[in-house]
A and B are shown apart, each in its own frame.
Chain A
């Protein structure tokens, strides 16, 4: 059987030459992301901003959930969460907070009523608070910060401190750019988006560690090479794997975007972006830091000594 090879082999790209471009480029993107976050902000969904809750009962005794859920897109009022409770005819719908206060709210309820038609009794309409409380956001942020610090310590212990700094900077770069992505695209930011961000952080860390691991190995083997050459050699060596993994995950995400439906689309789109920048940053952001921070190429001792330690 003839096997498929997408990735070129035995490449000799000079990745490190691009650091003069990639750093200013990423710096500008990161600053833009921060500016976007504070000026445009995120399109916070009902999870964060609260909204309105409408309870209805279908007169026929059987509510058409899919139809109701589709109304959000049709009336252009953002995603509607539709949930059944009690009998098959009872539905609750949750809508994100609308700008424009009470009047806008009444207008939307009016439009909803006319769009839904006579088939439903409106039983209750009221406001709901955000599902994600301040404490949840705080504890989540604290969790991310502490876990990044813990990862920094672990990598420092396993590699050299320069490697740990490289991985953490690349991860934070990806985190910032993901926030920027949400702000620019105006994708709804909800609890699923938190999951997307966490997943991207994980993917980004994984990419960085794989490249760094190979650099460490090369440093033990080739003492004479300059750091930049050594990094280029390592990145080229893992390139088939990088391309293979990125394509695999991309394929899976493509299926989620195309067939996964409205609810997980924002998650899948953000993840696709994350795969892209995670791969980019592991090559162009994480590794040049080793050059800037001046890793010595005998940092990991000689190959012979290492073999003994392994045995």
Chain B
């Protein structure tokens, strides 16, 4: 609320400056709005439409389903103009802040790893965050509770106007530091932030990259102010105050301080994900049970067992001995996927299971492709060993093509998707890798051994 009023004051001040209107007295701050006294009637008439423009129409203007305006403006006889934020205006701001916060939180939590968080608006002004499989919540709470508003400003020069700077606490040193209120570059102009290690001191630091706009401003500001002290301000605390030794072109920089690898990493995550539009307070924390209840899990397990039994039997009655080989390979494939998911610390969710199901299908398909090809070659009159060899070689080309196609798709989905799409991509990608090993290499080895010891005179399929 207060920032909303302060932003309004800044907007009003900007309008008045642009129109060069003289005021009597300053701009008054009130709980729900601001007041300005404009004695000159002509000035007032000139400025009022501009001030009206600050008041936005809320709701969806396309459908005409509007929810009123964000400000009411009234003028009394003495020329006192009062701008008040309406209830609808407050609600709209809160709504925007919540939606934006949800996106920022999702980006932050996505960086924790392959968990699929559930982030939902709850009630009017609360956000519900559910993260599966987390034991230690302190890191999560740090990620949720930090606003991460990053600003690059100058330390106040000697003899500066006190109204132009403010005294901010420092994290690296005791005491306050006078810092200019003017912001040179903001956190939203960052395109990347990574934790690294300082080449000279060997201590962890954070390397950041600006976008083009931020890079240009940063380069210009540093070029014009060599010798002055820069203040890197995070959530109104000075976290670093380097002296500008020379212009810094290229849009890159680093923040050093007394970081551990972990705190540097956390800060990098926060900077990458962007700042929250408002400070969030954690109102409640608790452990929840699985979203799929035990009864659903039981049903799923039963279905998986029945399905697996059907597939294994079907392979067995269709391919006999070779079906056994395919089934062994399939079993190893499933073990390998789960093992690699455990290694990566990925949580198992429904989309993830869908990815695994798809790779099981692909693994079966790989074996079917090979066996059908062996049959085909055999029917064309090749000897057993030649059919086996040709079957594997020819089918392998197809298997590689279809698996690489899928892998490309999974990789892109992982890079561009988030949440459930990502979970799907992870298990699909892992499954493709393991299925090639098991369905092709393992079956080939088993069939080679079988051929050596049995010396068959007839193909069993």
Tally of contact residues, B, Cβ under 8 A? 82
Inter-subunit contact A50/B121 (CB<8 Å): yes
Q: How far is the CA of A245 from the CA of B395 in the complex (A)?
A: 14
Instruction: Give A245's nearest chain B residue, CB to CB.
Output: B365
- Contact of A21 with B by CB under 8 A: no
Closest 8 CB pairs of A and B: A129-B121, A261-B299, A255-B307, A84-B289, A195-B351, A147-B412, A260-B303, A143-B416
Q: A66-B293, A191-B419, A198-B354 are in contact. Are A258 and B303 (CB under 8 A)?
A: yes
- Min CB gap A93→B, angstroms: 11
Choose one: A84, A196, A240, A260; the contact of B288 (CB below 8 Å): A84
Report 7 cross-chain contacts, Cβ distance below 8 Å, ordered by A residue: A129-B102, A135-B418, A139-B416, A147-B416, A192-B354, A252-B308, A264-B303
For A134, what are the chain B residues with a Cβ–Cβ distance below 8 Å?
A: 99
- Contact of B65 with A by CB under 8 A: no
Name 18 extra pairs, CB < 8 A, besides A129-B98, A140-B418, A263-B350: A3-B461, A53-B122, A53-B128, A83-B293, A128-B122, A131-B120, A139-B418, A143-B413, A147-B409, A147-B416, A150-B409, A194-B424, A198-B428, A251-B307, A252-B357, A253-B307, A255-B304, A255-B310
For A241, what are the chain B residues with a Cβ–Cβ distance below 8 Å?
A: 365, 368-369, 372-373
Inter-subunit contact B296/A262 (CB<8 Å): yes
Choose one: A92, A133, A251; the contact of B314 (CB below 8 Å): A251
- Which residues of chain A in 111-148 are interfacial with respect to chain B, using CB atoms and an 8 Å cutoff? 126-136, 139-140, 142-144, 146-148
For A151, what are the chain B residues with a Cβ–Cβ distance below 8 Å?
A: 405, 408-409
Query: Which of B153-161, B218-226, B315-323 contacts the other chain?
Result: B315-323
Interface residues of B (CB under 8 A from A): 98-99, 102-103, 106, 118-123, 128, 286-296, 299-300, 302-304, 306-308, 310-311, 314-315, 317-320, 350-351, 354-355, 357-358, 360-362, 364-365, 368-369, 372-373, 375-376, 379, 394, 397-398, 401-402, 404-406, 408-413, 415-421, 424, 428, 460-461
Q: How far is the CA of A143 from the CA of B360 in the complex (A)?
A: 23
Q: A213-B401, A251-B307 are in contact. Are A245 and B361 (CB under 8 A)?
A: yes
Query: Which of A24-32, A33-41, A204-212 contacts the other chain?
Result: A204-212
Q: A65-B295, A191-B350 are in contact. Are A198 and B413 (CB under 8 A)?
A: yes
- Min CB gap A141→B, angstroms: 9
Inter-subunit contact A252/B310 (CB<8 Å): yes
- Contact of A76 with B by CB under 8 A: no
Q: How far is the CA of A127 from the CA of B350 in the complex (A)?
A: 25
For B98, what are the chain A residues with a Cβ–Cβ distance below 8 Å?
A: 129
Identify whether the interface residues of B are mostly helix, strand, loop, or mixed: helix
- Min CB gap A199→B, angstroms: 5
Inter-subunit contact A192/B419 (CB<8 Å): no
Q: How far is the CA of A108 from the CA of B295 in the complex (A)?
A: 24
Q: How far is the CA of A86 from the CA of B416 in the complex (A)?
A: 35
Inter-subunit contact A195/B420 (CB<8 Å): yes
- Min CB gap A273→B, angstroms: 15
Taking residues whose C-beta sits less than 8 angstroms from the other chain, chain A's interface range is 35 or more
Choose one: A5, A82, A131, A139; the contact of B417 (CB below 8 Å): A139
- Contact of A267 with B by CB under 8 A: yes
For A244, what are the chain B residues with a Cβ–Cβ distance below 8 Å?
A: 318, 368, 372
- Min CB gap A271→B, angstroms: 8
Inter-subunit contact B361/A3 (CB<8 Å): no
Instruction: Give B412's nearest chain A residue, CB to CB.
Output: A147
Of the candidates A84, A259, A267, the one having the most CB atoms from chain B within 10 angstroms of its own CB is A259
Inter-subunit contact B354/A195 (CB<8 Å): yes
Q: A3-B461, A192-B350, A195-B351 are in contact. Are A150 and B412 (CB under 8 A)?
A: yes
Q: How far is the CA of A53 from the CA of B291 in the complex (A)?
A: 13
Q: A83-B290, A191-B420, A198-B354 are in contact. Are A213 and B405 (CB under 8 A)?
A: no
- Min CB gap B82→A, angstroms: 34
Inter-subunit contact B406/A255 (CB<8 Å): no
